Amino acid sequence: MKRLNAPKGWSQLLFVAPTEPWAALRAAASAGSAATTATLIDAGLRGRGGGGFLTGAKWQATAAEPASEHYAVANGYESDPAVFTNRLLMEENPQAIVEGLAIAALTVGAREAFIAVRAEYTEAIKRLEAVIANAERDGILGATLLGTGRELIITVRPLQGSSMIGEETVLMKALAGKRGQPEQTPPYPSTVGYLGKPTAVNNVATLAAVPWILNNGAEAYAQIGDTAQPGTVLVQISGSVANPGVIEVPTGTPLNEIIAAAGGTASGASIKALLVGGPTGGFIPANLFGGTPYSGAGLKSVGAHIGSGALLALDNSVAIPELATMLTRWCADEACGKTIPCRIGTRRLAEIGQRFVDGLAGPADAERLQKLAADVTDSALCAHEALAPSPLLTGVRYFASEFGPAVAAPSATPTSGRS
Amino acid sequence: MAWNRLTPAGRVLAVLLPVLAIGGALTTALLVAFGGAIAATIGANLPIVRFLVAAVVTFLISVPVAFLLIYMEMKIIALMNLRIGPDRIGPAGAVMSVVHGLKVLMKEDYTPPSVDVPVFTLAPVVVYLASFMTLLVIPFAPELTSMGFELGLLYFFAIGGLSVVGLMMAGWSSFNKYSLLGGIRAAAQAISYEIPLTLSVVGIVILTGTLSLPKIVAAQDGSFLDWFIFRQPLAAIIFFIAITAEANRTPFDNAEADQEIVAGFATEYSGMRFGFFFFAEYVNVFIVSALFSAVFLGGSNPPIHIDVNPQILIDLSALGIGLPLIAGIAPVIGTLLFAAPIWFASSRVKGWQALIAGFLIFGGVSTAAVGIWAFVMLPPVASLIWFLIKTFALVFTFVWMRGTLPRARIDQLMGFAWKWLLPASLLNIFATAFAVLIAGS
Amino acid sequence: MPKIPGTGLLSGMRLTLTRFFQPKRTVMYPEVKPDIAPRNRGRLELVTDEHGTLKCETCFQCAQACPIECIDMGGTDTKGRFAVHWGPAEQYAERREESAMRRSGRTVSDAAAASGATINIAKVDEILEAHDYDPHHMLAILEAIQGAYGYLPVDALKRVSGATGAWYAMVYGTATFYKHLAFEPGVTRSIAVCRCANCLVSGAGSVMGTLSYEFGTEFGRAIPWSNLRLESLPSHLLGAPSPLVVIDGEPQRDLSAKNAASWAAALAGRYAA
């Protein structure tokens, strides 16, 4: 899995190591917490982990929470098994991530910060730890932060054993050595996080952008990409494209341009749909590629979401019902088991999908699918559950003919219970 | 007709019908052969015969009366408790008490080893007899009294006191301290309440000058204002309370307090022996209500004399041979007559169901007709029916009290008898005597 | 106390007389059935849907919720590791004290901790020392213990609970949640199939189906006659082809949906226990 070169005109900032290491950290230290968050809010940086919150606002809320301890966590745990965007980022630009995390910790007043990484990413762990060790040796992190009296200890925490750890409340639990089951939000981790203290949790891609913003100014960042959600997103495009790989894409880019940047359709194939967002993502049919910008709002309008940043190009040989069912079954197997609608509902959804695949679906199954999907989404405690019905719902919506005559007319856009 | 292929009902009929037929034939033959001699003997000893017949009839009706009272009690208390009571056995559960009786008969008759066997065996008999012998003096109707002799009231109290002996025998002979306690309590209660009981009717005796029950009933002839309950209200109240205690009814049922001392004096009794006590109690209730209605409520006198003389005389002998014909054909015609409208009116009713309904309606109508004729034409019938109405009203009141009132503690009820009822009855005597003196002079 | 003696009795009798005439409350069962709430827990019964599939997931929620612990379930846990029961601990021969301690939610008592350990417990102590006896590092501690012993021995878990003060139930809760922790030795080798979207598109589903059919087991479970376990790969190995099958950590580059059956036969021969 390699990085692809982006076409001209696409800003590239995430893989660019800061020219002067730790300059942004020093600037943040001198500017102070309020100014830093103001800059980030002006830049419009939003979380890349799928939640899409304004990062500056999140840090502000965390810092404002009265507590004896604050924490900052970088979420480098990729739940999607097929995606390596964060891995590449951690391997190639660990400096920006560590610096971004340090700025976050400084802003919220944390003395301890963690980088959660998949235990299989041994190379990434090594490189991150190397950066931290160098920083501690140079007195930038560790017992004294930049020579001031306060301490800031950043630890890399390898985690494995459940694909739910990528969810932020689950991550809080896993870091504390507990069962990885999500909690109801609100209260968000900015109020009750690691060990019950306010914690600022950010994806590593979000944090990697922070030094760039502080070094180059909020204005510059706000001009990149979509106005509502500025900046770039790491996208991994694979499947029936000529050059599968990871591309850094400015938000708002239409899907067909992304496919073109990956070399276009592979020879001898024709793309039927894109699976956008990973195993809990949505299918987008080929006719919508031109009109759908790659941004949170744009994808939501067609029933998909950025998710893990995965784009899987499916050609005509792929049967949508079968793929959707297998993805739903994956969701069911990976479910942590806390809520009944997820634990059992995803299983039932997979069964309904299987009936469609086997041609045994009755007239009631289509309606049951919609109702069950609505129930599962409405009662969701975490994004895994809220988005688990997406493959089946978008499959039925756009590829009704493949599901057989039992499928009713497409329903309204399925919305996630978490905005 | 193989014996083992018959149902039990069939077997009963197969035995009963020949027996009845043969018995009837024999009796008819005997009567035909010796009819004259038998009639002469009866005519010569009419009082004795009359007494015998009356006694037998009285004994015979006492058991069904007991069944009826048991059923009434179960049903009325249930209705007062917002339940329905027996409703499955027989129409509205009417056969329930019969079933109870049969069950009691079928229970194991066990005599505990250490009891005093002759006393143990005789105790239920004594209690039962005490109740039934008092039945003989109840004035059901002027013509329907078994023993209307001069000392009726005194006889009643004397024999009624015998039941105390029976209770003591039961309590003592059961080798059981709790039974003994129960027996002692019962005896103490009975003795204590006998004094107010007898003293309260002294006022009546003063007013009527006789102890004969038929004469006391006759003294209340006229309208209902002549009833002694209005002329002796205090005596009525005392008498009522005293007979409640004598009959061991709530609130004075310590002797048998089901919830406290198992069955009190009757703890060691099972099966039919217990059934004796049980029946004796209910017959006692009936008797005591009958006495109250005879002494205070005018007995068999109607509340108001209505002088109608319809003179519906049906001379059955004029029909001659037509009588059996009518007796045979009338039921058939009546059944069909009443069945036809039912069958035509509803399409869901089958033919045989309509016939049965018709038969029942015919039975009801003819009974009502005969009953009304008898009521009007035969004075004993009317008197009996009035008597029974009053008696059962009293029975209802006893059952009502059982369903409402809590039990009195033994010391409370003894204290009540000695400290309140006794002085009150003495007061009643003095007042009555005083009044008679004033009225007389 | 009524003013005139006797009026109390009479008012009581008046009440019962009114009751005599009021409509009765008896429910004429069985002609009239009582009105039972639809969620009445009258009888425990497993229900099936119209396709005959049992709806019960053996999720133990009912057994855990039952206040009198009268619900019991039997079977192997979802990872095919050990037989699980949830009933009064006294009834089950295996892990009696275990299950009681686990359910009690308390730290391992001194007596239980002092009972002789069947393993060399010194390694556990070293690991605990290295992690500063901090229960917040439970996951790391357990991973280290698994690294030291090859699996998680019960005695080690008891020692962890006793030394760190973490509830035994919490230790077990964490240990049973994460898929890379094992409770029994021996089943160390695994055949894992990746289920990421790319592999699913490339036929991982049929590979899984073929393998589970050939081995006669299901994914997530041990293969009965061997020391192998069928697993789902947590993440796609970098640069590995699709569909990805990993045996003992080695990606198999030639296995695809077409030759999965013959592969399975060969594997069966090679890894027989």
Q: What is the set of domains in chain A, with CATH numbers?
A: 23-222 (3.40.50.11540), 232-315 (3.10.20.600), 320-403 (1.20.1440.230)
Q: Which two tokens stand for residue B84?
A: 């329905």
8 Å CB contact of C26 and B403: no
8 Å CB contact of C196 and A81: yes
What are the CA-CA distances from residue A153 to residues A25, A141, A261, A381 (Å)?
15, 6, 40, 31
**Interface probe with C: pick from B75, B79, B240, most Cβ of C within 10 Å:** B79
Q: What is the pLDDT of residues B364-379, one digit of tens each?
A: 988 998 888 888 777 8
Query: What pLDDT, on a 0 to 100 scale, did the predictor assign at position C1?
Result: 55
Mean pLDDT over B257-281 rounds to 74
Chain A neighbours, 3+ Cβ pairs < 8 A: C
Touch A-B: 3+ C-beta pairs under 8 A = no
DSSP element (H, E) containing B102: helix B96-106
**Interface probe with B: pick from C11, C19, C20, C28, most Cβ of B within 10 Å:** C20
Q: What is the pTM of this model?
A: 0.56
Chain C neighbours, 3+ Cβ pairs < 8 A: A, B
Backbone angles phi, psi at B389, to 5 degrees: -60, -45
What are the CA-CA distances from residue C1 to residues B154, B401, C4 (Å)?
39, 19, 9
Query: What pLDDT, on a 0 to 100 scale, did the predictor assign at position C2?
Result: 55
Shortest distance, CA B167 to any CA of chain C (angstroms): 29
Q: What is the pLDDT of residues C209-235, one digit of tens each?
A: 888 887 777 777 667 666 777 888 877
> Is-contact B293 B391, C-beta < 8 A?
yes
> Is-contact A82 A278, C-beta < 8 A?
yes
**Interface probe with C: pick from A84, A318, A325, A330, most Cβ of C within 10 Å:** A330
* Range scoring the smallest mean pLDDT among B286-290, C28-32, C264-268: C264-268
Give the residue numbers spanning the domain of C240.
189-270
Please enumerate in sequence order all residues whose Cβ is within 8 A of that of A66, keeping only pairs 6 or more positions apart, or say none. none
Shortest distance, CA B79 to any CA of chain C (angstroms): 5
Q: Among the ranges A25-34, B425-434, C157-166, C235-244, which has the highest mean pLDDT value?
A: B425-434
Q: Is the per-residue pLDDT at B287 higher than 90?
A: yes
DSSP B85: -
Q: Is the per-residue pLDDT at B184 higher than 60?
A: yes
Residue B262 sits at the chain C interface (C-beta within 8 Å): no
| Residue C261 included in any domain | yes
Q: Which two tokens stand for residue A219?
A: 């204005």
Shortest distance, CA C104 to any CA of chain B (angstroms): 46
> Is-contact A251 A225, C-beta < 8 A?
yes
What is the ipTM for the molecules in this complex? 0.79
Query: Could you tell me the residue ranges of all domains in chain B?
Result: 112-305+411-440, 316-377
Query: What pLDDT, on a 0 to 100 scale, did the predictor assign at position B7?
Result: 84
Shortest distance, CA C269 to any CA of chain A (angstroms): 29
Would you put residue A254 in left (φ > 0), alpha (ψ -120 to 50) or beta? beta
State the SS3 of C44-59. CCCCECCCCCECCCCC
Average pLDDT, rounded, for chain C: 77
> Total domain count for chain C?
1
DSSP element (H, E) containing A155: strand A153-159
8 Å CB contact of C195 and A239: no
How many C-beta atoms lie closer than 10 Å to residue C94's C-beta?
Answer: 10
DSSP A70: -
**Interface probe with A: pick from C139, C143, C179, most Cβ of A within 10 Å:** C139
Low-confidence residues in chain A, pLDDT < 70: 1, 49-50, 406, 408-419
DSSP line for C106-171: SPPPHHHHHSPPSS-THHHHHHHHHTTT-GGGHHHHHHHHHHHHSS--HHHHHHHHHHH---HHHH
8 Å CB contact of C139 and A275: no
C155 falls in which pLDDT band (50, 70, 90)? confident
* Range scoring the smallest mean pLDDT among B169-173, C112-116, C174-178: C112-116
> Is-contact B270 B108, C-beta < 8 A?
yes
Mean pLDDT over C29-38 rounds to 81
Q: What is the pLDDT of residues C43-102, one digit of tens each?
A: 667 777 776 666 776 666 777 776 666 666 666 655 666 656 555 544 544 445 566 666
Q: Is the per-residue pLDDT at C268 higher than 80?
A: no
Shortest distance, CA C173 to any CA of chain A (angstroms): 6
Cα–Cα distance measured from residue A27 to residue A213, given in angstroms and rounded to the nearest whole number: 11
Residue A279 sits at the chain C interface (C-beta within 8 Å): yes
Of the candidates B72, B267, B255, the residue with the CA atom closest to the CA atom of residue B163: B255
Residue A290 sits at the chain C interface (C-beta within 8 Å): no
DSSP A410: -
Q: Which two tokens stand for residue C195?
A: 């289920």
Residue with tokens 């479970």: C221
Cα–Cα distance measured from residue B304 to residue B297, given in angstroms and rounded to the nearest whole number: 13
Select from A176, A179, A351 the Cβ nearest to the Cβ of C136: A176
Average pLDDT, rounded, for chain B: 86
Q: Which two tokens stand for residue B224?
A: 């209902």
Of the candidates A410, A241, A391, A409, the residue with the CA atom closest to the CA atom of residue A320: A391
Residue B83 sits at the chain C interface (C-beta within 8 Å): yes
**Domain CATH code at residue C220:** 3.40.30.10
| Residue C71 included in any domain | no
Single-letter amino acid, residue C64:
Q
Q: What is the pLDDT of residues B101-128, one digit of tens each?
A: 888 888 888 888 888 889 988 998 899 8
Single-letter amino acid, residue B24:
G
Positive or negative, the CA dihedral A88, A94, A99, A101 is positive
| Residue C116 included in any domain | no
Query: What pLDDT, on a 0 to 100 scale, did the predictor assign at position B2?
Result: 78
8 Å CB contact of C19 and B81: yes
Residue with tokens 């049980």: B278
C114 falls in which pLDDT band (50, 70, 90)? low
Find how far residue B388's CA is from the centre of its chain.
9
8 Å CB contact of C17 and B403: no
Q: Higher pLDDT residue, C57 or B175? A: B175
| Residue C161 included in any domain | no
Q: Is the per-residue pLDDT at B202 higher than 90?
A: yes
Residues of C in contact with B84 (CB under 8 A): 24, 26, 28
Residues of B in contact with C19 (CB under 8 A): 79-82
Query: What pLDDT, on a 0 to 100 scale, did the predictor assign at position B315?
Result: 65
> Is-contact B101 B67, C-beta < 8 A?
yes
8 Å CB contact of A81 and C53: no
Q: Is the per-residue pLDDT at C257 higher than 80?
A: no
Query: What pLDDT, on a 0 to 100 scale, did the predictor assign at position B318?
Result: 63
